[in-house]
Amino acid sequence: MRETRKHGGFVLTLVIVALGLMGVVMAVLAGAGNSMLFHADRAQVQAVERDLLASGLAWARHQVQRPEDATMSEAVELDVRAFHIPQAHLAVSLIPADAAPVSVRVDAACMKGRQTGRAQRRYDLRRAP
């Protein structure tokens, strides 16, 4: 009579090794996904920060060009709900000056996840003649 060899243990070992390798691959992909999410949040915070600064500067230019404008040194909080970031903040200060250029300070801050962006810029704007 012929004896047959069974290879059931070998196949089971291959399946267990394949499952272990799949776990390692999943861990590596999860780490890469978290890293991509971190960098995407950072890029969005930087973009929103630039948008906030540009919006504040545009508002200040509009205020400086108005003939009835009275410069104010206290900061004016602007509505930033259109940016759809709950932790966004924008404040603009027009610093009084006797000379032609008006000094403007724009403070912007935003936050998303673990990323925080803060910027403070100072601009000199000319009044309309």
Is 119 inside any structural domain?
yes
Residue for token pair 């996904």: 33
Structural domain harbouring 59: 8-126
Is 1 among the domain residues? no
User: Taking Cα atoms as reference points, which of 120, 123, 119 lies closest to residue 102?
Assistant: 123
In a domain, 2, yes or no: no
Q: Does residue 71 fall inside a structural domain? A: yes
Rounded Cα–Cα distance for residues 11 and 53 (Å): 63
pTM above the 0.75 mark?
A: no
Give the β-pairing of 76-77 and 89-95.
antiparallel
Tens-place pLDDT, residues 84-118: 777 889 999 887 766 678 888 999 999 888 888 89
Tokens 């971190």 sit on residue = 38
Number of domains in the chain: 1
Question: What SS3 class is residue 33?
Answer: helix
115 within domain boundaries: yes
Residue 3 placed within a domain: no
pLDDT tens for each residue of 61-89: 888 877 565 556 678 888 888 877 778 89
